[in-house]
A and B are shown apart, each in its own frame.
Chain A
């Protein structure tokens, strides 16, 4: 099926009428964090200087090639078919609740994929079980809606045997952190070359509203009428603790930032983990409104960017490192400047731990978003492939007859 044979009249997945979250962005160019303070002057004496950004591997081969800015409409450029957002939509009706944050993630993925690949057939989405895990049904690519918590296992087997494929894992807070926590951690430590998008809504949606492993302590739900006793996971900290080589966080209501995170994740070789704060407007509405709504967002969020000081609230506040403690400081009273602020270094794991862990469930400090950590470490699938090739080179192509006759044999005539 070529591009122009696609079923026509299929609406790209978008937000149903009346949905609250912002629609997909109109701008196609990569965007930085919105309203991020930019007064990054030369770092002063007090500032923590980042070392040079860690060397990253070159961009991925063909499937990962950036073909160009996403174009609207079908067309050909330089002899290559240019994919569009529509090419990644399926005829299946999207069955998430109207207003669900999942729509925004679907829209962002469908929007960035044409930039990231020219071979749709090489893209595979693997999911587990849960609301978010219906995602592959809405992507016109290869996909598998597998078993609760087990998507990392399927994806690991697929990518390890077909390293040339572009594999994405779609999961949620229950899927990845409860029933599938073991696989999640092992995928990260192995560093299989794929992207993981974790839709964190801090609730079980598909089973209709029980508390999840990211729900806050004391949460009252159907299964916790007197309040949940469970201490919540911090997914980004868990990922970092499992030696993830790429850890980022974004939110459903900031499409530009989400797209930027997806691009960064895709460019990374190894397991790229992206946590998305996603609103479940049915069972946990407003869980992240502090961070996503325009009246509170400036004060409650800080967007980290490599080489830039941690500044927020329209440039009026910053984050300072005091020993090993992070503190919020005012930048508009003349006592402190951006020079005093912690300058972000996405290659520094210690900094990543500090920020991820201290800026969490703390009303006095903003919640961080952006790429927290990136590390250049060999991917499991590439090493497996290299090992197979090295052994084959050393021993020669396998000879079945010789193998069967290996060791001591005797002949009866």
Chain B
């Protein structure tokens, strides 16, 4: 930390990384505030990771503990892999927000509170016995009390606005103050306000006024000992933008439609936290893709499969409860051997669970959750930006192998954002598509099309779409004869077909690249993860390797089914395998069963992502047990 000259009276210190948490009522606009702070931070060239954390209730009763909405942001000049274990700055818009989030703040951290939201009624709603601002319970923190409501009202005294509308602007005060505190540029937020409220000048000007007021408040108040500066991160060269996981999924699907020439048909039913995918894709009709808001989850996948039968690429996205409903259709896609992409933006379950909280508990359902022997490829995205490549890959595999593919994301990836180096469309993998026609389709002696005669290498059957003369054929859920595709109850045929369907999926390992082992290539502990835990595991492994002599490796699985062919060989190079998962231990069971190893499980089922420190502790424990 170094003192540097500041244009203002407040000295500026440089920090390598910072974690900020905005918390308030679900109606306080904390997600917007966090999003705009992230945007300014990205433009300040920091690496970053975010954790939006909000209740399922849209407008929970004001001031209550369960109505608290929060947005955590970790940014720095170094590579950032997690939303931060401990918070350096908490902005608490009311008493409930302070109570819910105080535990996340590091000792000595800064807390900015809205002094006007600590009246007796606020304290009662937050179940505070006494006022934390006065009872000494915040000793050990640097508490800055700001009369946020009052200052906002003063700033807007000349505006013709109701008290309600006036008070709704106070999040802009908090944003302005936070931007000042971390020397972020204010112009991006201004620009955003001008665009957002373009049709309502009064609201637009009110928000701009309050934003400025908050920004300048820091200088005036002298309550802050310092401002902070976080130098730009050393990211790889390229053009960047910030991206959320759900938006990256949408862009990956658009890329698939452009590169393959297949028209994507996106059938879906709104569900948290997957709905944003529909919101994004429904805007992209100029790419020829069609979106369909179905009457339910079943119709969503059914319409997608119908489109695939027609020679398009059927895609559907949902969360766990929706996958449960789609199960029978995924089985039909396996039986008819048509391409289908099913995206599961996982959330905490079972049943309705905690819809706005993240979890990785649908892995077993994705791999096994269908009646009969119904193998399907299952892959997972590991970061918000990686959702782009994962969606593209899922689409490509579905078409190449004529199979349903399940792609796992989760609420943390879907809503979380990070700086993303925009890929070059020309550098994406080829996405060839072939439709059978009367020239090349396999037929029997009298010319009848044989829709289940397979490609020798991929074991995929030919894709003949309606409208193609002479290839009329019937598909369906009844078992198929292995050549003609006719209905077959033949015992031997059923066994052969079951094995063939399994071999087709297992054979995908042939095209998987060698596993990348991060950290040490061999040693005491191998951490195997999948999905959104990537950042936390990476940060933990880096930390352990920096601070100790432990030799720790990290393999992060894109492919959960089939498992990569070289995974067993990598496992053998380590003494112990640790599997952190946001579930009760699902991948770890697969690994124990497949490789007959006493893999150690690190389950976390709290609706929250891992902290790096939790994984660090588990690595140390696994290492000591290994010896």
Nearest-CB residue, chain A, relative to B466:
A142
State which residues 153-171 of A face B: CB under 8 Å.
153-162, 164-165
Are A162 and B286 closer than 8 Å at their CB atoms?
Answer: no
B217 within 8 A of A: no
Contacts of A152 in B (CB 8 A): 299
Contacts of B311 in A (CB 8 A): 162
Contacts of A413 in B (CB 8 A): 237
A281 within 8 A of B: no
Are A121 and B43 closer than 8 Å at their CB atoms?
Answer: no
Are A409 and B239 closer than 8 Å at their CB atoms?
Answer: yes
Cβ-defined partner of B286 (8 Å) among A2, A158, A395: A395
Are B309 and A400 closer than 8 Å at their CB atoms?
Answer: no
Contacts of A229 in B (CB 8 A): none
Contact with A along B420-461 (1 / 0, CB 8 A): 001101000000000000100001001111000000000000
> Please, how many angstroms separate the alpha-carbon atoms of A395 and B238 in the complex?
27
Cβ-defined partner of A156 (8 Å) among B286, B299, B449, B472: B299
Chain B proximity of A160: nearest CB distance (Å): 6
Are A161 and B447 closer than 8 Å at their CB atoms?
Answer: no
A137 within 8 A of B: yes
Are A1 and B449 closer than 8 Å at their CB atoms?
Answer: yes
Are B467 and A121 closer than 8 Å at their CB atoms?
Answer: yes
Cβ-defined partner of B307 (8 Å) among A129, A161, A394, A412: A161
Contact with B along A7-21 (1 / 0, CB 8 A): 100000000000000
Are B258 and A411 closer than 8 Å at their CB atoms?
Answer: no
Contacts of A403 in B (CB 8 A): 251, 254, 284, 287
Contacts of A7 in B (CB 8 A): 446, 448
Contacts of B302 in A (CB 8 A): 146-147, 150, 153-154, 156-157, 183
Nearest-CB residue, chain B, relative to A87:
B472
A206 within 8 A of B: no
Cβ-defined partner of B306 (8 Å) among A2, A119, A126, A401: A126
Are B314 and A398 closer than 8 Å at their CB atoms?
Answer: no
> Please, how many angstroms separate the alpha-carbon atoms of A17 and B437 in the complex?
39
Can you list 26 A-B contacts (CB < 8 A)? A5-B447, A119-B467, A121-B466, A121-B471, A121-B472, A124-B466, A129-B477, A144-B309, A147-B332, A150-B298, A154-B303, A157-B306, A160-B307, A161-B263, A161-B312, A164-B467, A165-B467, A183-B302, A398-B286, A404-B251, A408-B43, A410-B42, A410-B239, A411-B239, A411-B240, A412-B235
Chain B proximity of A246: nearest CB distance (Å): 20
> Please, how many angstroms separate the alpha-carbon atoms of A7 and B236 in the complex?
64
Binding site for A on B (CB under 8 A): 39, 42-43, 45, 188, 235-242, 251, 254-255, 258, 263, 265, 267, 284-288, 290, 292, 294-296, 298-307, 309-312, 314, 328-329, 332, 336, 422-423, 425, 438, 443, 446-449, 465-478, 486-487
State which residues 14-46 of A face B: CB under 8 Å.
none
Are A162 and B295 closer than 8 Å at their CB atoms?
Answer: no
Chain A proximity of B385: nearest CB distance (Å): 11
Given contacts A145-B477, A146-B477, contact A155 B306 (CB under 8 A): yes
Contacts of B478 in A (CB 8 A): 145
Main DSSP-derived SS at the B contact region = mixed
Are A183 and B487 closer than 8 Å at their CB atoms?
Answer: no
Are B474 and A144 closer than 8 Å at their CB atoms?
Answer: yes
Chain B proximity of A162: nearest CB distance (Å): 4
Contacts of A404 in B (CB 8 A): 251, 255, 422-423, 425
Contacts of B477 in A (CB 8 A): 129, 145-147
Binding site for B on A (CB under 8 A): 1-2, 5, 7, 90, 92, 119-122, 124, 126, 129, 136-137, 139-147, 150, 152-162, 164-165, 182-183, 186, 384, 387-388, 391-392, 394-398, 400-401, 403-413
Are A146 and B476 closer than 8 Å at their CB atoms?
Answer: yes
Chain A proximity of B298: nearest CB distance (Å): 6
> Please, how many angstroms separate the alpha-carbon atoms of A122 and B471 in the complex?
11
> Please, how many angstroms separate the alpha-carbon atoms of A387 and B469 in the complex?
29
Are A145 and B39 closer than 8 Å at their CB atoms?
Answer: no
Nearest-CB residue, chain A, relative to B471:
A121
Are B305 and A154 closer than 8 Å at their CB atoms?
Answer: yes
Are B471 and A407 closer than 8 Å at their CB atoms?
Answer: no
In this complex, which of B295, B300, B469, B471 has the most chain A Cβ atoms within 10 angstroms of its Cβ?
A: B295
> Please, how many angstroms separate the alpha-carbon atoms of A231 and B241 in the complex?
60
Are B295 and A145 closer than 8 Å at their CB atoms?
Answer: no
Are A157 and B238 closer than 8 Å at their CB atoms?
Answer: no
> Please, how many angstroms separate the alpha-carbon atoms of A158 and B305 in the complex?
8
Contacts of A126 in B (CB 8 A): 306
> Please, how many angstroms separate the alpha-carbon atoms of A141 and B472 in the complex?
5
Chain A proximity of B242: nearest CB distance (Å): 8
Contacts of B301 in A (CB 8 A): 153
Chain A proximity of B422: nearest CB distance (Å): 5
Given contacts A400-B254, A404-B423, contact A165 B310 (CB under 8 A): yes
> Please, how many angstroms separate the alpha-carbon atoms of A404 and B392 in the complex?
14
Are B306 and A158 closer than 8 Å at their CB atoms?
Answer: yes
Are B305 and A136 closer than 8 Å at their CB atoms?
Answer: no
Cβ-defined partner of B447 (8 Å) among A1, A395, A396: A1
Contacts of A400 in B (CB 8 A): 254-255, 258, 287, 425
Cβ-defined partner of A410 (8 Å) among B240, B288, B305: B240
13 new A-B pairs (CB below 8 Å) besides A159-B306, A162-B311, A396-B286? A7-B446, A140-B472, A142-B309, A144-B474, A153-B303, A157-B304, A157-B310, A165-B467, A182-B299, A183-B299, A186-B294, A397-B286, A409-B239
Contacts of B446 in A (CB 8 A): 5, 7
Chain A proximity of B193: nearest CB distance (Å): 14
Nearest-CB residue, chain B, relative to A145:
B476
Are B290 and A161 closer than 8 Å at their CB atoms?
Answer: yes
Are B306 and A154 closer than 8 Å at their CB atoms?
Answer: yes
Chain B proximity of A134: nearest CB distance (Å): 9
Are B265 and A137 closer than 8 Å at their CB atoms?
Answer: no
Are A182 and B295 closer than 8 Å at their CB atoms?
Answer: yes
Cβ-defined partner of B299 (8 Å) among A137, A139, A153, A384: A153
Contacts of A129 in B (CB 8 A): 477
In this complex, which of A160, A395, A404 has the most chain B Cβ atoms within 10 angstroms of its Cβ?
A: A404
